[in-house]
C-alpha cells in the first residue's frame, strides 16, 4: 500500500511531532515540582521502557566490551545532566528561548569543538556557522531592551547553554559507538544509567513532594514525555532513517523547532518579535547549510 519512503516519512513525521511538542509540554511538570523531581519522574518511566528494549536485544547488549560500558556510563551521565540542566533553565526562562538555544547552539558549538580538536572544517561549514551566529544575534537582540532584561531569564539562558555542552558530549561519544552498536540498544542503556544519576540528584527533593497532591495533568504529561517523546520518538526516528537514509532523515530535524514554536504560540501564548522570526529563519538556513555540506563532504 505504501512504499518504503512513504513509511519512512511517516515515522519521521511522528518523531518530529513528539519531539516538538516535548519542548512545550515540559513546562507543565516544572510548574508543580522542582526540575530535579520532574526530570527524574520522566526518566523513571523512560527507564522502564528502555529495560524492555534491552531485554528484547539482550544478545547485542551482552556483546558490549568493558570499554563500551565505560563510554555508555559517561554518555548516561551527560544525558542526565543535559535533561536536568534543560529543565532548570526552562524553569527560569520561556519555551521559545530554550528551543532556539537547543537548535542553534548545539551545531555551532559542535563545529567549534571539533575544530578545536584539529578536525578539518570546510569553508562552507564555517559559512553555515557564521550565518547561524548572525541569526542568533537577531534573536537575542530584544534581550538588550530594558523591559526584557530579567536576571532570572538570563540565568535560565546560561543554564541552557550548559545543557548544550552536555548534549554535545553525549553526541560526540555516541558518534563512534553507535557505528557498531544498535542505536536503540545504546540509547536505552544510556537512559537507564541517566535515571540512576537523576535519582541521586532528585532524592533530597523527592522527600518533600506530596505526590497525592499532584494534578492529573502532571502524570499524563510525564507519561507522554517519557513514552512518546523519549522512547517512541527515538524509535520512529531510527526506523525512518533506515528507510529514507540519514541525509534525508536529518532534514526532518529542522521541522522540530518550527513545531515547537507553533505549539508554544498556540498553547501557552509565547510569541516571537519580527526580528526574532528573521533571526530564527536565518539560523535555520545556516544550520541547514553547515549540515548539508558536512554530510556531502
Of 273, 279, 270, which Cα lies nearest the Cα of 95? Answer: 270
Instruction: Write down the domain spans for the chain.
Output: 4-296
Residues 239/11, Cβ–Cβ less than 8 Å: yes
Alpha-carbon separation of residue 61 from 45, 68, 212 (angstroms): 21, 10, 38
pLDDT at 96: 83
Predicted confidence (pLDDT) at residue 113 exceeds the cutoff of 70 = no
Residues 75/174, Cβ–Cβ less than 8 Å: yes
Identify the residue with better confidence: 247 or 171.
Answer: 171
Distance of alpha carbon 187 from alpha carbon 75, whole angstroms: 9
pLDDT at 226: 92
Structure pTM? Answer: 0.81
203: left (phi over 0), alpha (psi -120 to 50) or beta: alpha
Question: For the segment 231-282, what is each residue's pLDDT rounded down to a tens digit?
Answer: 888 888 878 877 777 656 666 777 788 888 888 888 888 777 787 778 777 8
Amino acid at each position: 500500500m505504501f512504499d518504503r519512503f512513504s513509511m519512512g516519512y511517516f515515522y519521521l513525521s511522528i518523531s518530529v511531532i513528539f519531539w516538538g511538542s516535548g519542548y512545550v509540554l515540559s513546562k507543565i511538570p516544572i510548574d508543580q515540582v522542582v526540575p530535579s523531581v520532574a526530570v527524574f519522574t520522566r526518566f523513571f518511566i523512560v527507564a522502564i521502557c528502555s529495560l524492555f528494549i534491552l531485554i528484547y536485544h539482550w544478545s547485542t547488549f551482552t556483546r558490549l566490551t568493558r570499554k563500551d560500558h565505560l563510554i555508555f556510563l559517561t554518555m548516561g551521565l551527560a544525558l542526565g545532566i543535559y535533561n536536568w540542566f534543560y529543565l532548570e533553565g526552562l524553569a527560569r526562562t520561556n519555551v521559545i528561548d530554550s528551543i532556539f538555544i537547543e537548535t542553534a547552539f548545539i551545531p555551532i558549538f559542535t563545529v567549534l569543538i571539533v575544530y578545536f580538536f584539529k578536525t578539518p572544517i570546510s569553508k562552507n561549514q564555517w559559512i553555515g556557522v557564521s550565518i547561524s551566529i548572525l541569526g542568533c544575534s537577531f534573536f537575542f537582540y530584544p534581550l538588550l531592551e530594558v523591559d526584557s532584561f530579567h536576571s532570572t531569564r538570563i540565568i535560565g539562558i546560561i543554564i541552557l547553554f550548559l545543557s548544550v555542552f552536555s548534549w554535545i558530549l553525549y553526541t560526540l561519544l555516541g558518534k563512534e559507538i553507535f557505528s557498531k552498536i544498535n542505536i536503540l540498544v545504546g540509547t536505552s542503556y544510556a537512559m537507564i544509567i541517566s535515571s540512576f544519576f537523576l535519582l541521586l540528584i532528585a532524592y533530597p527533593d523527592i522527600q518533600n513532594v506530596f505526590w497525592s497532591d499532584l494534578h492529573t495533568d502532571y502524570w499524563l504529561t510525564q507519561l507522554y514525555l517519557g513514552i512518546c517523546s523519549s522512547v517512541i520518538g527515538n524509535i520512529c526516528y531510527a526506523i525512518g532513517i533506515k528507510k529514507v537514509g540519514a541525509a534525508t532523515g536529518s532534514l526532518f530535524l529542522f521541522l522540530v523547532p518550527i513545531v515547537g514554536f507553533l505549539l508554544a504560540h498556540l498553547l501557552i501564548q509565547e510569541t516571537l518579535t519580527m526580528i526574532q522570526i528573521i533571526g530564527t529563519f536565518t539560523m535555520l538556513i545556516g544550520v541547514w547549510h553547515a549540515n548539508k555540506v558536512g554530510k556531502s563532504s
